[in-house]
């Protein structure tokens, strides 16, 4: 842990982190893909060669480009073609999240399915990207929204795998008292999965935009930085998915931070963003 981040990390989070046995490490494939991206002669073939060394990663990349969320008509089975479709930036983010999730062991995480959490990250990422694109955000911001969406709940893995007994207590408190996950986490751990995730991605030197979008995805109003479309998009995409799941279980909840959206002048965009999150194609007329 660097001295600077020590100074910036709030005391309860610092105490919590001190109790962690293991934090996931930045996967080496991420650095390899960064090197390809930064090379003058960056090529899809080079990137495809890197991911082809890892069968699990090829499977994930093909799964993503062929998913209904991606909206392709045909079926892609060639990794190079899949990489070309995704683009090197998205590939880098996808490789990062796949390899981070692969560092966790399902048998030690009885509380939830790793695959479901990965899928939730993927859905959030795709929707956050669609929202950022709809708002004509710059390409780098669109990519940051995608990366933050993929990894927004990574702190959940860290908390549940390092502190399983407390995590079980947290789930019980959440159910008994009808609390939101992050409120119950703050009660039991002194910090939330969003705090832990933001900290981790900061340690890996991901952009401030990504770190903030992850750290404040449940409570964007608390973000000290000025408005970012990546944060607004990840917040809405995540809340929309969680609201839809709660609705399916007959327990409707409202998770959108309407004050934040209003403060950013985005309140009138919400219905359209929600439509994007339902997978509806949206007319850009009047935009």
- Angle of helix 11-18 relative to helix 193-203, nearest 10 degrees, comes to 80
Name which of 112 and 204 has its Cβ closer to Fe ion. Answer: 112
Alpha carbons within 13 A on the beta-carbon side of 41: 2
Q: Which of 76, 73, 53, 49 lies closest to 65 in space, CA to CA?
A: 76
Q: How far is the CB of 265 from Fe ion (least distance, A)?
A: 25
Q: How far is the CB of 156 from Fe ion (least distance, A)?
A: 7
Q: Which of 52, 12, 148 lies closest to 93 in space, CA to CA?
A: 148
Using DSSP's 3-state secondary structure scheme, residue 23 falls into coil
Q: How far is the CB of 33 from Fe ion (least distance, A)?
A: 25
User: How far apart are alpha carbons 199 and 123 in whole angstroms?
Assistant: 23
C-alpha to C-alpha distances, 232 to 21, 61, 221, 240, nearest whole angstrom? 33, 26, 10, 12
Contact assessment for residue 117 and residue 157, using Cβ atoms and an 8 Å cutoff: yes
Paired tokens of 89: 């930036």
Name which of 60 and 152 has its Cβ closer to Fe ion. Answer: 152
Name which of 30 and 118 has its Cβ closer to Fe ion. Answer: 118
User: How far apart are alpha carbons 16 and 39 in whole angstroms?
Assistant: 39
Q: How far is the CB of 182 from Fe ion (least distance, A)?
A: 7
User: How far apart are alpha carbons 6 and 9 in whole angstroms?
Assistant: 5
Name which of 58 and 173 has its Cβ closer to Fe ion. Answer: 173
Q: What distance, in Å, lies between the first and last C-alpha atoms of the chain? A: 45
Q: How far is the CB of 186 from Fe ion (least distance, A)?
A: 13
Q: How far is the CB of 236 from Fe ion (least distance, A)?
A: 12
Q: How far is the CB of 153 from Fe ion (least distance, A)?
A: 4
Name which of 153 and 195 has its Cβ closer to Fe ion. Answer: 153
Q: How far is the CB of 238 from Fe ion (least distance, A)?
A: 4
Distance of CA 279 to the CA centre of its chain: 18
User: How far apart are alpha carbons 234 and 210 in whole angstroms?
Assistant: 10
Paired tokens of 266: 């985005």
Q: Which residues contact 86 (CB under 8 A, 6 or more apart)?
A: 61, 64, 65, 94
Name which of 153 and 257 has its Cβ closer to Fe ion. Answer: 153
Name which of 139 and 222 has its Cβ closer to Fe ion. Answer: 222
Binding site for Fe ion (CB under 5 A): 153, 238
Name which of 90 and 123 has its Cβ closer to Fe ion. Answer: 123
User: How far apart are alpha carbons 141 and 233 in whole angstroms?
Assistant: 10
């Amino acid at each position: 842990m660097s001295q600077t981040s020590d100074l910036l990390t709030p005391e309860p989070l610092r105490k919590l982190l001190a109790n962690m046995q293991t934090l996931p490490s930045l996967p080496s494939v991420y650095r390899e893909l960064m090197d390809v991206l930064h090379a003058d002669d960056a090529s899809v073939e080079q990137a495809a060669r890197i991911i082809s060394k890892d069968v699990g990663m090829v499977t994930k990349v093909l799964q993503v480009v062929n998913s209904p969320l991606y909206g392709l008509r045909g079926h892609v089975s060639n990794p190079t073609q899949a990489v070309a479709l995704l683009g090197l930036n998205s590939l880098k983010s996808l490789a990062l999240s796949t390899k981070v999730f692969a560092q966790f062991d399902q048998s030690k995480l009885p509380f939830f399915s790793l695959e479901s959490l990965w899928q939730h990250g993927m859905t959030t990422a795709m929707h956050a990207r669609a929202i950022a694109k709809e708002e004509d955000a710059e390409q780098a911001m669109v990519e940051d929204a995608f990366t933050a969406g993929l990894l927004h709940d990574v702190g959940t893995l860290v908390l549940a795998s390092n502190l399983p007994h407390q995590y079980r207590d947290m789930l019980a408190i959440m159910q008994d008292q009808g609390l939101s996950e992050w409120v119950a986490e703050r009660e039991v751990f002194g910090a939330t999965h969003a705090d832990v995730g933001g900290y981790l991605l900061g340690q890996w030197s991901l952009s401030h935009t990504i770190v903030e979008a992850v750290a404040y995805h449940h409570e964007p109003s608390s973000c000290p930085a000025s408005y970012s479309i990546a944060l607004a998009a990840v917040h809405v995409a995540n809340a929309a998915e969680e609201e839809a799941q709660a609705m399916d279980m007959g327990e409707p909840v409202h998770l959108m931070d309407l004050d934040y959206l209003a403060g950013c002048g985005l309140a009138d965009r919400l219905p359209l963003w929600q439509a994007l999150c339902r997978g509806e194609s949206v007319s850009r007329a009047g935009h």
